[in-house]
Chains A and B, each alone.
Chain A
Amino acid sequence: MDETRPAYLAHHFEHLEQQKQSATLGIWLFLITEVMFFGGLFLGYIVYRGLYPEAWTLGSSKLNITLGAINTVILILSSLTMAMSVRSAQVGSRKQCANFILLTIIFGSAFLGIKAIEYGGKFFPGPDAHYFLIPGKDFFIDSPFSNGVQIFFSFYFTMTGMHAIHMIIGIGILFWLYVKARKGDFHENYYNPVEVTGLYWHFVDIVWIFLFPLLYLIGRH
């Protein structure tokens, strides 16, 4: 029996380094599956953009570039706070670690709030709008390229929707992490869960870094 075994070392691991390496390898493998997952959507995007470039440009011009840009900045900041929380744990600042996680949650939620506003604007474009951009039987836009624009918006909603779902799950995980960080669970001898969560969060951020120019910035000068 091992009196020197810390509580945070799971029973099936021989030593802490094995546990840390396993978790890290695990999250990287999981992120590879996420790349393949979003990859299918990016493939469809590339195929249809190649077929209907004018529709893609027109659709992109109907997106709110200001809100998109603000969201991009917010998400990058959230990755910064996430990285800071890892660093805090690494140097033993347990409270700071928890605070940075909380900041990350706040930034993430702000992103989702702005996204909700954007989506709302599409569902309720106002009485003066001469288009309705939700794909389906009510979709319309006065353009010879309207069919292609409808496909563009199908991709817009599916891709940003999938991304938003990943953010919601991420915020959920961050809440769990925050509770543990507040209890002081993460410190210089044990911070791997924060690192692993951070990797997931950075990945979700990078997906957005691709989505923003591909969806919002087509043909803009």
Chain B
Amino acid sequence: MNLLFKLLPEQATEYARQVDELYLFILAVSVFFTALFVFLMVYFTVKYRHKAGSTEKVEPPHEHYTPEMIGGGLLLALLMVMFFWGAKLYFKAQRPPADAMEILVTGKQWMWKIQHPSGKKEINTLHLPVGRAIKLNMTSEDVIHNFFIPAFRVKNDTVPGRYTQLWFKPDKIGTYHLFCTEYCGTEHSRMGGYVKVMSEEEYENWTSGGAGADETPVEAGARHFAELGCIACHGAISGALGPNLAGVYGKEVNFSDGSSLVRDDDYIRESILNPQAKLVAGYAPIMPTFQGQVSEEQLGHLIAYIKSLE
């Protein structure tokens, strides 16, 4: 019932409050112009209504371009305020702090698989500690999904074949909706659940407890690295056939064709699945592909492991 009287849902982050400010500004502008417009419509209709049998001639309008152009310019200025304000907040949403805690999210028809850095896994529920910056590293196993938390005012598509990110810093303990917001098939509307923001202490208990402490993604990644034989070429020994991976994440790498880029999650994923796509300068193209041998989940672990290497 209270939905009818509250303009917006609960605000569980500072960012949500800031987005709401902007929302209310646009709302105020909209209400103002709608009211003005409707008022003029009604007023002119009444004041200049047709009087049957009147012999008064209607004057054709005189075209005044200057006031119109000035009005258009003023409108554009107002719109640019909206644009810049929205862009500023958008930048914030695109730039997670470096110390954000990373949680892996994989969307698949029709559930969200989530794994915490402690290794703890969950489905359709996201437990979070209050007051900490959290970054979600997301992908999809099949079609495009979208991870949406209305109380945080953020969402992002999860796309198969690449990684997308979402970050927030919840500052209010509570339970909030989690929705999939990109149509993905029959059970699209059931693909969701809750975000549970809890105190730091409760989160620590939750994340380390439960039947059998799970491997952390980093530990799992280390295990895959050994099991799949990566260590044979990428072990840090002289004369190694593959580049040493210690400390490489986030640094620039040069390729044999002269191009270069900063190593990110997508690059690591591509190097595992399609190693010849970008060949590191100075190395022979002998790395085999692991397409079909690693799942999305394992890829996520391997990336977490490589990121952790110093």
Contacts and interface: CB of A to CB of B under 8 A. Distances in A.
Tell whether any CB of A sits under 8 Å from a CB of B in the complex: yes
A137 to B, nearest CB: 14
Contacts of A147: 274
Contacts of A145: 276-277
A52 interface: yes
Contacts, number: 12
Interface of B: 274-277, 285, 289
A6 B274 CA distance: 68
A67 B277 CA distance: 30
Contacts of B277: 52, 54, 145, 148
B225 to A, nearest CB: 21
Given A54-B276, A144-B274, 10 more contacts: A52-B277, A54-B277, A144-B275, A144-B276, A144-B285, A144-B289, A145-B276, A145-B277, A147-B274, A148-B277
Nearest to B287: A144
A147 B274 CA distance: 9
A145 B270 CA distance: 12
A54 B285 CA distance: 13
Nearest to B286: A144
Contacts of B289: 144
Interface in A100-146: 144-145
Nearest to B277: A52
Nearest to A52: B277
Nearest to A55: B277
A91 to B, nearest CB: 53
A40 to B, nearest CB: 20
A157 to B, nearest CB: 23
B290 to A, nearest CB: 12
Contacts of A54: 276-277
A152 B43 CA distance: 64
A46 B277 CA distance: 17
